[in-house]
Amino acid sequence: MTEQKMIPPNTLMAIGAVGGLVCVYLAYFLAPANPIFVFFGALGAVFAAVWGADAVRRIASYGLGTGVPSIGLLALGMGIIAVLFSLALDISAGAPIVAFIVSCAIGAIIGIISVKILGMTIPIMVSATTEIAGAGALLILGLGIVIAGSLDYAIFVKEVVTTGFIMLIYIAGGMAMLHPHNSNLGPDETQDRLLALSAEKAGIAVILAGFASVAGMGAIIVTVLIGLIIWYYFFSKYYDFVKRDAYKVVDTGLLPTEEEMQ
């Protein structure tokens, strides 16, 4: 395997945290003017998913012993609790940043407990659980604002939680974070391939959230289109990376007919 150029964790953290928060805020402030702008929330969710996938990649490469999905679902579990809590505080524009901070705090507490009490020996345990918790909260905020068109607690609960779309965000968003490492892990794992897969999965989550949106026909069309573009672009990119990293890609052809089996 030739040396791959890696994106350093801090750059990705900056892109994910700052990009995610800025996009969620853009959606938050622009949506009242025109609901089409909720698509910024979708972009924020994609940034957060890519950041989270990289954090999962770093922590899970130490070998958790429990499978990669556990940590992805942990991230979204912490995110859900932090997001609903901060929206319930009724602090209007402060909610997204408070959700992010509370989620990071819960992540840090769980990381510290895992290291100190359960005696886990992974050196980046605390920082990585903090990161995935933050990414999980941003993912839920981003996709949630796409569905509800607002971050008002009453509207969010009615349109996202009571309708059950919260579980769609939970699993589809969790997929974007946990699936890339789960399917790419191994000695030939490369970061760019993994991140492309994460963005592709996030694209699918954006399409689904777009369909579920109540922010108006314009918002649905724009979000679904953006999701499709993200999905198509990163799927082709991922396929290119697969072809680059594989020794050889061969066509297996169709299933043999009954005569050929004889």
Partner 1 sequence: MIDIVGLIAPNILWILAIVIGGTLISISVHFISVGGAPAAMAQATGIGTGTVMLAAGAGIAGIIAAGAVMDLNQDLGVVLGAGGVGAMVMLAATMIVGTWIYAYGVGVMPVSAKVKYDPITKYRQDLYVSQGTEGHGIPTVAFVSSLIGGLLGGFGAALAYYALMKVGTYAYAGVTPLAVHDLNLVGVVAAFTIGFFFINSVIPSYNIVGTIEGFHDPKFKRWPKAAVASFLASIPLGIVAVIAVGALALVGGL
DSSP, residue by residue, 117-166: TS----TTHHHHHHHHHHHHHHHHHHHHHHHHSS--HHHHIIIIITTSHH
Residues in 88-107 at the binding interface with partner 1, rule: CB under 8 A: 88-91, 102, 105-106
Residue from the set 53, 59, 110, 220 that interacts with partner 1 by CB under 8 A: 110
Site membership for partner 1, residue 113 (CB under 8 A): yes
Indicate the SS3 state at residue 247.
coil
Residue from the set 43, 80, 95, 209 that interacts with partner 1 by CB under 8 A: 80
Of residues 182, 221, 229, the one with CA closest to residue 204: 229
Measured from the Cβ of residue 104, the count of other Cβ atoms closer than 10 Å reads: 22
* Binding piece for partner 1, criterion CB under 8 A, among 4-12, 24-32, 81-89, 232-240: 81-89
Residues in 142-181 at the binding interface with partner 1, rule: CB under 8 A: 153-154, 157-158, 161-164, 166-167, 170
Contact yes or no for 141/112 (Cβ under 8 A): no
DSSP, residue by residue, 229-244: HHHHHHHHHHHHHHHH
Site membership for partner 1, residue 65 (CB under 8 A): yes
Give the x-and-dash track for 196-225 against partner 1 (CB under 8 A).
------------------------------
Q: Taking the complex as a whole, how short is the minimal distance between the CB of residue 109 and partner 1, in angstroms?
A: 6
DSSP for residue 205: H
> Radius of gyration (Cα) for the chain, nearest Å?
19
Q: Taking the complex as a whole, how short is the minimal distance between the CB of residue 84 and partner 1, in angstroms?
A: 5
By beta-carbon proximity to partner 1, the closer residue of 23 and 99 is: 99
Residue from the set 1, 33, 117, 249 that interacts with partner 1 by CB under 8 A: 117
Indicate the SS3 state at residue 252.
coil
Give the total residue count for the chain.
262
Residue from the set 15, 30, 69, 190 that interacts with partner 1 by CB under 8 A: 69
Residues 39, 54: Cα–Cα separation, whole Å? 23
Residues near partner 1 (CB under 8 A) are: 64-67, 69-71, 73-74, 76-82, 84-85, 87-91, 102, 105-106, 109-110, 113-114, 117-120, 153-154, 157-158, 161-164, 166-167, 170
